[in-house]
Amino acid sequence: MTRKTTFCETCRDDVKFTVKTLSKTGNLRGKDYTYTGKEARCNECGSLVFVPDIVDFNLDALYDVYREKNGILPTEVIAAVPKKYKIGKRPLSLLLGWGEQTYTRYCEGHVPSKAYSDIIKHINDDPRFYMSLLEKNKEAITPEAYRKSRKAVEALLSGAGKIDKAAEYLMYRCGDITPFTLQKYLYYVQGFGYAFNGDFLFAEDCEAWVYGPVYKNIYAKYKSRSFHPADKPTDFDMSALTDDEKTVCDSVIDNLCCYSGEILVRFTHNESPWLETRKGLAPDAQSNRIITKESIAAYFDAVKSKYNMINPVDIKEYAEAMFDRVR
C-alpha cells in the first residue's frame, strides 16, 4: 500500500492512518461470509477512514471466501488456463460456446457460475478433455489459433504420467521418504527442473494447502500410507526420465532428503509461490488454490540467479540458507 494519508471526515483533514487486520463479515448474493479483512483508523481521532486500497483488498478477500465456500475457481486459476493452452481468451470463449467476452470477464475478477467454473476446472485438470473440445469446435476459431493451441496441448499430453514416474524415482532413490515429504520433493523437482532445464517436468498443477504445496492426484494415490515410509520400489525403468530430469531429482534427494517434513513445510511457507497463493487466507484455512506455474518459474529462476547456480548440485547452497532461516 503506497498511500500515506487519507481524508478523515471527523477531523476534516488529511491524516495518517493505522491499518489493522481483523475478521469481517460481508454479504454476497444473499448470504453472509466471514473473511480476514482490514480496516483503517485515523491516527488522530481513531475514526474509521476510507482507503481505496483497503476497500479493494476486502472485496477481493470476500470474493475469495465466496469462491472457496461454493467451489468456484480463483481468478488466478481461470486466468492461467489460456496461457496453459496457448489460446486467447476470446477464442477460448468461442470454443466453449460462450459469449465472446465471457472468459475475459472471468479473468478480470467476475465470478462465474458453479457450472461454468466446473467446466473451466475440467479443462484445466484434463488436457485430453480440452483437446476434445478443441477438435470438436475448431471451426469456431482461426486456423492459426487452432494450430498454436493444439501444439501446446500435445506438448502437455506428451508429459502425461511424468509426475508418477518422478514420484516413483524419488521413492526408488530415497529410502527415507513419506507421502508427506514426497509432495515437497516433487514441488522442488518441478521448480528447480524449470530453472535448470527451461521446462516443467510434469503438467500437473499443485495446490496451496495448509502444510505447503500438494499435488492432489499423488496425494490421493499415496495418502493411505499415512506418514509411514512409502514402500520403496525394488526397480525403476531409467528410460522413463531423461538424464537431465534424473539429475535434478538426484540433487533434490541429496540436498533436501536430509530435512524433516516439518522443516520442508517451513521452507515452502517462506517462499513466495505458496505465500502469494494463500494471501488473505487464515493460517488453517483449507484451500484448493493453484500455485501457478508462472509463479513457480519466476521464483526458482530468481533463486538460481541469486545463488549463482550453474548446475543442480548447487541446490545445496539454497537448502542450507533456507535451513538457517527457518530453524
Q: What are phi and psi of 291, to 5 degrees?
A: -80, 110
- The grid coordinates of residue 31 equal 448470504
DSSP 8-state class, residue 201: S
Q: Are residues 223 and 195 in the same domain?
A: yes
pLDDT for 223 equals: 80
Q: Are residues 207 and 321 in the same domain?
A: yes
Q: Is this model's pTM higher than 0.75 or not?
A: no
- The grid coordinates of residue 302 equal 530468481
**Domain boundary residue among 27, 45, 70?**
70
Q: Are residues 82 and 63 in the same domain?
A: no
Q: Could you report the average pLDDT of every consecutive run of 10 residues in the chain (327 residues)?
A: 84 95 92 94 96 92 89 88 93 96 94 94 89 95 96 79 90 85 96 94 92 93 67 76 92 93 95 94 89 95 96 95 93
Q: Are residues 250 and 133 in the same domain?
A: no
Q: Are residues 59 and 86 in the same domain?
A: no
E strand or H helix at 212: strand 212-214
Domain count, the chain: 3
E strand or H helix at 145: helix 143-158
